[in-house]
Amino acid sequence: MASKNYNVVAFKVVLHCICLAVANSSDLSYPAVFNFGDSNSDTGDLAAGLGFQLIQPYGQSYFNASSTGRFCNGRLIVDFLMDAMHMPFLNAYMDSIGLPNFQKGCNFAAAGSTILAATAASLCPFSFGIQVSQFIRFKARVLELLAAGQKYKKYVPAEDYFNKGLYMLDIGQNDLAGAFYSKTLDQVLASIPNILLEFETGIKKLYDQGARNFWIHNTGPLGCLAQNIAKFGVDSSKLDEQGCVSSHNQAAKTFNLQLQALCTKLHGQYPDANVTYVDIFTIKSNLISNYSNYGFQQPIMVCCGYGGPPLNYDERVTCGSTKSLNGTIVTAKSCNDSSVYVSWDGTHYTEAANQYVASQILTGKYSYPSFSGKMLIPSLAQVTTTESQSM
């Protein structure tokens, strides 16, 4: 019990330090944030767009409700980043309930989205190209409202926010993960250039709309998600030393190398833009490899699932649902303490894991070009060591 309380204190110290550093840093001082992505940063877009509600235990740890549309027990990485920058959580573009305010930005990310255009078989129709189109419409409508009078200013971004704001992008995971259901590893690898060509097209459109500050997150270790292990890791020879599916992680690494090369290209192509490549893969891989150093006990096993160890994941009974299996009614319930789990539902991370990832992003050490020399934010490991020595 003391260990659990200690971990909570350590996390709070980290976030306090992050907030202080960001507040005093001009490098991360943006008037607004515009976010594009998938379920890793969806704050309710897909739920609002398709008209469904995530049932509890989604949202239970922070929002105490499932109506936020986040695929997590609490806050996402984007929420912690916004909080660290002293900005309100981003409203989803398509969520019109609850007097949404877009003065500080807008979130176009939608769960299940891909970089490539959606097809009839896609889980989500709001691909990256659609999200960019939604942004263009959003900006045009904002400018119309601003021209109409002063009364809208407190609800929408100022005109110059579109040029001065931060554009965060975290998408591509579903392009890779979904491809493995119908393609070999070689075919998935061969598809990456086309995926990134579509991504580059979207970036150019945003640039043409005035975007100049980009944070581009790479994709995480897909092979370490319980959903992929359950489907593609039945043969233990397909797993690496961490118990992750090797092929999926190889695809993620290849995608990331080519994405980083694209970011370097964008640097040269748009000299007046700031393009920051953020290495999410390394942050998450380090968390999974050294989970116990950061207060976690389960790096892969699912918190909210069904089936018990080692994965506690069954694709037939997703988090929060109740189904009949072989004549028995079963429910995929949440674990007792989500703060010691990395994986929430087999596809998404817990709030605690998201908090750790956000703290590492904001050190600047995993960004290229790096801003670590400009921000004095201690890593979680440093805080843990300091706290340990003082106790």
The answer to whether the Cα torsion of 17, 23, 29, 35 is positive or negative is positive
**Assigned token pair, 61:** 């740890």
Helix (H, G, I), strand (E, B) or coil at 303: coil
Q: For residue 128, which of 68, 76, 175, 70 has the smallest C-alpha distance?
A: 175
Q: DSSP letters along 224-242, please?
A: GSHHHHHHH-SSGGGB-TT
Q: Which residue has the higher pLDDT, 185 or 371?
A: 185
Alpha-helical regions (H) of the chain: 2-23, 45-50, 77-84, 128-148, 161-164, 173-179, 185-208, 226-232, 246-269, 280-289, 351-361, 380-390
Ordered by where they begin, the domains of the chain are 33-368 (3.40.50.1110)
Are 300 and 243 in contact by the 8 Å Cβ rule? The answer is yes
- Decide if pLDDT at 6 tops 70: no
Point out the residues that are catalytic.
39, 345, 348
Query: Angle at which helices 380-390 and 351-361 pack, to 10 degrees?
Result: 100
Determine the 3-state secondary structure of 186 from DSSP.
helix
The answer on pLDDT for 306 being more than 60 is yes
How does pLDDT run across 324-334, given as a tens digit for each residue?
999 999 999 99
The reported pTM is 0.90
Q: Which region among 95-104, 170-179, 273-282, 322-331 has the lowest average model confidence (pLDDT)?
A: 95-104
pLDDT band with cut points at 50, 70 and 90 for residue 66: low
Q: Is there a contact between 86 and 21 (Cβ–Cβ < 8 Å)?
A: no
> Which tokens in the block code for residue 219?
């994709």
Residue partners of 224: CB distance under 8 A and separation at least 6: 242, 243, 244, 245, 249, 284, 285, 288, 299, 300
Smallest Cα–Cα separation from 161: which of 142, 145, 141? Answer: 142
For the stretch 20-49, pLDDT in tens is: 444 444 467 899 999 999 999 999 999 999
Q: Binning pLDDT at 50, 70 and 90, where does residue 389 land?
A: very low
Distances (CA, A) of 194 to 201, 215, 250, 380: 11, 21, 18, 37
Residue 119 confidence (pLDDT):
94
Range scoring the smallest mean pLDDT among 56-70, 125-139, 288-302, 374-388: 374-388
Write out the two tokens for 101: 């305010």
Of 114, 269, 279, 277, the residue nearest 192 (C-alpha):
114
79 pLDDT more than 80 = yes
DSSP string over 238-291: GB-TTS-BHHHHHHHHHHHHHHHHHHHHHHHH-TTSEEEEE-HHHHHHHHHHTG
